[in-house]
Structure 1
């Protein structure tokens, strides 16, 4: 809306006008001591300005346990204190920051690590600059994979195809360890289902990423950061469990972390055996007086082996080197039964009845290898990071299918096919962050990606005992992509304000070539600019809690994936097929957002996404045969999405805390479909919540769930749906063993009915999955810390105040 844009820019100008109010520096003394008032010397203190987290101050406590900082008056700070032989201290925000001196008590730690225990609940969701940080620990124990963990994260929505949505009708882009996974939604979902949840350190949600990130993220970014060897000595865990719905899942895994001196390493191994089902029922107008009723039931048994590893080396005080890699082998199969009946509406007479049976197998190999170096330029935080990675994904499988004609009775038809696809992706990027001063930071970098995708599908039909090529299904497709980019952005703090502005340049080169069944090709070569503006300031302080506002503007692009462009027809059943659209143009989105956080926890946001040339999954009637329909993608028009989001709860204190949120999305679409105007306006609500109650020092019960009302998925209108999950954790064996009982989708409400009214296409239906499951997980934690000599405790890379 114009009003929101006016509000956005009016607020920006107001904030910029007020930046002339500069804060004064003052001295803050922090004293560290034990409970008996004995001073703690040689401790490392890190103070982070919460208005600009790139600004960090360091100090060592002296023989009196004191450390002195020069800080800006009125600012809020985050403090981390570490010392060998003591438990770390984390204060956010730092209590007593308005005083001249603060005294903190440090608790001695055992030399040998007997168990991994949580002494205080962490915040499930917190805000850090322009990204939301989700701590997966509270929900990892109740999940069997990273995919399930995303499903239970407040504010995220996953559709049945594996797409992740934040606050936009465009799916989010998935990153792992800061690297984009350029795969189809189905392949990414397969990778996430093989990733063990307790291997994840945190999830970063960027609804409006800065110029540092690829512009191809209109729907935002979800970055999954994996754990690394950060503990002293050897630590790890073994876990095993199962859950049971209509079908059962079983899994077992091992995690090892090791850190010795300047070297660290980690190893994750996981094996999963799973099965699930999907049921899709559809009623589609077939002719003026006919209706096609379809009921498809498919099972997906699979075995997955996953291995992840990492090696880290501190080459010197300035150089760090890290190697990491992942290996995933997914051997799956599917068995589908699809009943198709055509009836006359006026008489309810059955005109046709047939049954499609399809059995398939698929073997997917995914390999990822990365090399990362970091060079610390100075003691202010300037650094140069270079990252190179290679990813390979290979899919190979086969299908056997048949159609039984029950009414009118006819001979059964048979066929089979095989497919082989390979994807190679090489990424190289270098990012420089340079502190021009304590308040000014320059960021710049370059990035190039090269992707090559090949697909070969061969299908055959059995006719009179002869196996003949099926030209309607056989196809071969090649796709190459090269994207080169560069960016520059500057951030500056003005007392209570932090302003960041940047510009990203991206050069896109896409080349697709279909060789079978027809020789077609397409090319896209273009260069685009993408601006970004971010402003943060403190709004007020109420009852000791600090409120900060964040204002963001960005422009982004969504490029069509190779499967959107491939024009080859992909058979679904005898009444429906899929095909790509090589004429598909990229879509562009402008986003405006204003949000407010309380003590680094997101509270409220309002924004708008304006998208042009939006490409949408559409269904057309076949021009030569009305009994056939095909699904494809097309640039149909523009979409204006206005949204607001509210998140509230009790901080993680004492025995109980909870998070509750609500989000409203209103879409106003304007376009042309089948040469006729297509306009609609629709709003939908999403509610989500998370609760944790500590029954006793060893037992915790958690409850989380969501409700989505009047949902929308592309042009599909969805009914109300949601899910409620319950878990109980109990520790045994000196807190080393954690036993978790889970109940997912207790009331079996996580399914939806849908309606499609799109030009000449009218359909209704239902989609259901194997979501109601009950299970148990066992996790045993172990670890040994070697005794550290205190003579080396001053050998730290201290930074000046």
Structure 2
């Protein structure tokens, strides 16, 4: 008997040693389209889970031999399906949804398949469509409420203390400065599906995109029919501002079309005060400039996206985008200048004109090479932009200077990207080659009492790159790593040999992102990336581009270099909504804008190279719910997957500290750190009515070489009400409630003392109406991050 028992145990042990895991894999589709974020449940004697990636692919490794199993596939937009299968090795499954849900939930259910904030190893995805606090205003408002995002004192968008790049549907917008800000304010947030905060851009993205990429993903039609929305908003204070926009989505058989269009007219007044002093050739110069500024601009935009389904495995997409901006701001000022013992007081006026037209064409051919997630994409993108500018300065009614400039910009890019499941790492392998070329031609003229000649110049830019990246999941550790080989060539050509520049730069740019599951709902992620940043063509312009007063002008610097940075970060997240983030960047070379004293004794604002930059920041986000604690903290956490965020009252608190240091060129007073807080609150009033309060406060400190003399703060309040089964939305509110929107700062200048105080537009009252028509339900927006593998538990 004992021998028989030992023999049986031996055979059993040998069988266990020789048992092999089996893999169940497949693709989930609806009407031939892959469905990302489908939740897969596989039942044998145990239960296993997976989530499809952006190609609709999943794979589960089961540590047992089975002959039959049951699969359930679920998605918030479709009726769940359950089927039984006989196991067959090397036979991928083709799982299909057949019916859509009759209604899309009006609220957000926070579960494994439907969260309004999801954090991955390399990015954070925010669902704008389902969260009223984000989709009630403009895209600019929505971006400004994202975790870690704030608008700097000079109007730029930053994330975790570093400037961010804005993408729209996976592509750079081609706009910057006021043009980009105004466009985002014109684009209604109700046309947006989601926003990706890519704080660790992988090897697929050009190394020239330094800092965070904020990718705004608009809605698109994926089912038969026509749907859309119309929005009208008016803002009133001393002037009336008008925003009108519309979105139309259409799908018929194999053709789908998505169109966004809008018109904006804006007029607004601000006040500015400049005080500065410096020495020029041994003469003490002091000035006080008091401005009243009238901003005036109009904007039209049209965005079209046509997609044709050639076969079940191939799609052809054509995009045409147009944007036109016309602005004619004016300023009126009382100026006081002192040159040694000579004092001068006078009245000044500036009159500017800017006319910008941008056309963009894009072709995308996407080919599925198999049914388990292997894809090839070929993309061609071309952008044409023309900008004409006129800057005039009048002193006591006499024309002192006129600067005319005409800029023509052509940008083209061709990309080939390949992606396939990488079974060895239970993840994805990506390969690609990119080629980018742009030419900026600049011509103009001066009418100026100074002896100046406008220098026509061309700026050419070429970028050639190849990349490889792999992502995978090993137990509780998610890994994404890649390397990009990039060759950057840029040159400026002028009629003055000393101003010509040509640089050729080749280097490797690695990226690594890690995410580890510490416990249920708690993750620790970390990453490293090497990036570079080259300023836009206008930063190299050797000419004076505008003269703001007799003493102050803007100019370019033809001797700039690429900015290199080594970036490290770590983030702790709890239930995706709470996060603590630390960033550290070493910048051997950095380009920053500040004032310098010109040879003729005036001041010029332009970019300059600074070496040995070092920045660090700490940021946190924390939701504070109201009227929920009667359930008890333990029960609230246990029931978090059943919470309807859209019907809660809460405050989401963003707070942070950032500091940047430089070499001895910058005084210590401009290298101090700064704290900020930004909160947005939702108060659910019942009956589909919500009140929103946003508050921002930047405490005294330094941000981008701006030293705040007093805290900068702003408060906005609005009420949102939905009618007619959510088809009609009314939004009323007040911006700049406290009349404190602006800043009082000391501005760094090489060899000068300068203070600027700006008070932006006074309190503004706004009312907006949005009407949604059709029965559109979007089930196929690709929210999964690039290369994120399926999720598996045992």
Asked if 1:387 is matched to 2:383, the reply is no
Shift in CA distance, 196/574, structure 1 to aligned 2, threshold 3 Å: same
Asked if 1:494 is matched to 2:487, the reply is no
After superposition, residues 537-686 of structure 1 pair within 5 angstroms as 537-541=516-520, 546-570=521-545, 571-601=547-577, 603-625=579-601, 628-649=602-623, 650=625, 652-653=644-645, 654-672=647-665, 681-686=671-676
Q: Residues 153 and 703 of structure 2 are in contact (CA less than 8 Å); yes or no, is this contact kept in structure 1?
A: no
Asked if 1:456 is matched to 2:446, the reply is no
After superposition, residues 2-81 of structure 1 pair within 5 angstroms as 46-47=39-40, 49=50, 56-57=57-58, 68-69=70-71, 80-81=75-76
- How many angstroms apart in 1 are the aligned matches of 2:426 and 2:775? 42
Aligned partner of 1:483 in structure 2 is: 463
Please tell me the root mean square deviation across aligned C-alpha atoms, in Å: 3.5
The alpha carbon displacement at 1:275 in A equals: 1.3
The alpha carbon displacement at 1:785 in A equals: 7.4
**TM-score under structure 2 length normalisation:** 0.79
Asked if 1:424 is matched to 2:417, the reply is no
Q: Residues 639 and 667 of structure 1 are in contact (CA less than 8 Å); yes or no, is this contact kept in structure 2?
A: yes
Q: Residues 194 and 328 of structure 1 are in contact (CA less than 8 Å); yes or no, is this contact kept in structure 2?
A: no
- How many angstroms apart in 2 are the aligned matches of 1:700 and 1:413? 53
SS in 1 for 2:372: coil
Q: Residues 294 and 340 of structure 1 are in contact (CA less than 8 Å); yes or no, is this contact kept in structure 2?
A: yes
- How many angstroms apart in 2 are the aligned matches of 1:46 and 1:325? 35
Aligned partner of 1:315 in structure 2 is: 310
Aligned partner of 2:723 in structure 1 is: 732
Contiguous gaps of at least 5 residues in structure 1 = 1-22, 29-43, 60-65, 71-77, 90-105, 406-411, 464-469, 787-798
SS in 1 for 2:207: coil
Q: Residues 565 and 582 of structure 1 are in contact (CA less than 8 Å); yes or no, is this contact kept in structure 2?
A: yes
- How many angstroms apart in 1 are the aligned matches of 2:537 and 2:24? 58
Contiguous gaps of at least 5 residues in structure 2 = 1-19, 26-36, 41-48, 61-67, 82-97, 626-642, 778-789
Aligned partner of 1:341 in structure 2 is: 336
- How many angstroms apart in 2 are the aligned matches of 1:768 and 1:664? 25
Aligned partner of 1:722 in structure 2 is: 713
- How many angstroms apart in 2 are the aligned matches of 1:147 and 1:655? 24
- How many angstroms apart in 2 are the aligned matches of 1:525 and 1:286? 38
- How many angstroms apart in 1 are the aligned matches of 2:297 and 2:588? 40
SS in 1 for 2:695: strand
Asked if 1:761 is matched to 2:752, the reply is yes
The alpha carbon displacement at 1:666 in A equals: 2.4
Q: Residues 194 and 305 of structure 1 are in contact (CA less than 8 Å); yes or no, is this contact kept in structure 2?
A: no
Aligned partner of 1:62 in structure 2 is: none
Q: Residues 450 and 483 of structure 1 are in contact (CA less than 8 Å); yes or no, is this contact kept in structure 2?
A: yes
- How many angstroms apart in 1 are the aligned matches of 2:528 and 2:55? 21
The alpha carbon displacement at 1:323 in A equals: 1.8
- How many angstroms apart in 1 are the aligned matches of 2:578 and 2:365? 32
Aligned partner of 1:33 in structure 2 is: none
SS in 2 for 1:242: strand
After superposition, residues 198-597 of structure 1 pair within 5 angstroms as 198-287=190-279, 291-342=286-337, 351-404=343-396, 412-437=398-423, 439-461=426-448, 471-472=451-452, 474-515=454-495, 520-541=499-520, 546-570=521-545, 571-597=547-573
With 572-581 and 531-540 compared, the bigger mean Cα shift is at: 572-581
Alpha-carbon deviations, 1:720-744, whole Å to 9, x = none?
A: 1122221111123344211111222
Q: Residues 459 and 471 of structure 1 are in contact (CA less than 8 Å); yes or no, is this contact kept in structure 2?
A: no
- How many angstroms apart in 2 are the aligned matches of 1:442 and 1:141? 35
The alpha carbon displacement at 1:296 in A equals: 2.4
Shift in CA distance, 487/735, structure 1 to aligned 2, threshold 3 Å: closer
SS in 1 for 2:548: strand
- How many angstroms apart in 2 are the aligned matches of 1:502 and 1:373? 24
- How many angstroms apart in 1 are the aligned matches of 2:714 and 2:669? 32
Alpha-carbon deviations, 1:290-319, whole Å to 9, x = none?
A: 531012222121222221111122222211
Alpha-carbon deviations, 1:623-647, whole Å to 9, x = none?
A: 453xx22222222222221211111
Q: Residues 670 and 748 of structure 2 are in contact (CA less than 8 Å); yes or no, is this contact kept in structure 1?
A: no
Q: Residues 281 and 294 of structure 1 are in contact (CA less than 8 Å); yes or no, is this contact kept in structure 2?
A: yes
Shift in CA distance, 678/565, structure 1 to aligned 2, threshold 3 Å: farther
SS in 2 for 1:583: coil
Alpha-carbon deviations, 1:130-167, whole Å to 9, x = none?
A: 11223334345543x43344334442222365422112
Shift in CA distance, 302/82, structure 1 to aligned 2, threshold 3 Å: closer
Q: Residues 51 and 498 of structure 1 are in contact (CA less than 8 Å); yes or no, is this contact kept in structure 2?
A: no
Aligned partner of 1:704 in structure 2 is: 694
Q: Residues 671 and 702 of structure 2 are in contact (CA less than 8 Å); yes or no, is this contact kept in structure 1?
A: no
Q: Residues 173 and 220 of structure 1 are in contact (CA less than 8 Å); yes or no, is this contact kept in structure 2?
A: yes
Shift in CA distance, 393/194, structure 1 to aligned 2, threshold 3 Å: farther
Shift in CA distance, 173/776, structure 1 to aligned 2, threshold 3 Å: same
With 157-166 and 206-215 compared, the bigger mean Cα shift is at: 157-166
Alpha-carbon deviations, 1:182-217, whole Å to 9, x = none?
A: 544344334434433332222211122111111112
Shift in CA distance, 273/624, structure 1 to aligned 2, threshold 3 Å: closer
Tell me the matched-pair count. 689
Alpha-carbon deviations, 1:238-277, whole Å to 9, x = none?
A: 2212012332211222211122343321122211111123
SS in 2 for 1:189: helix
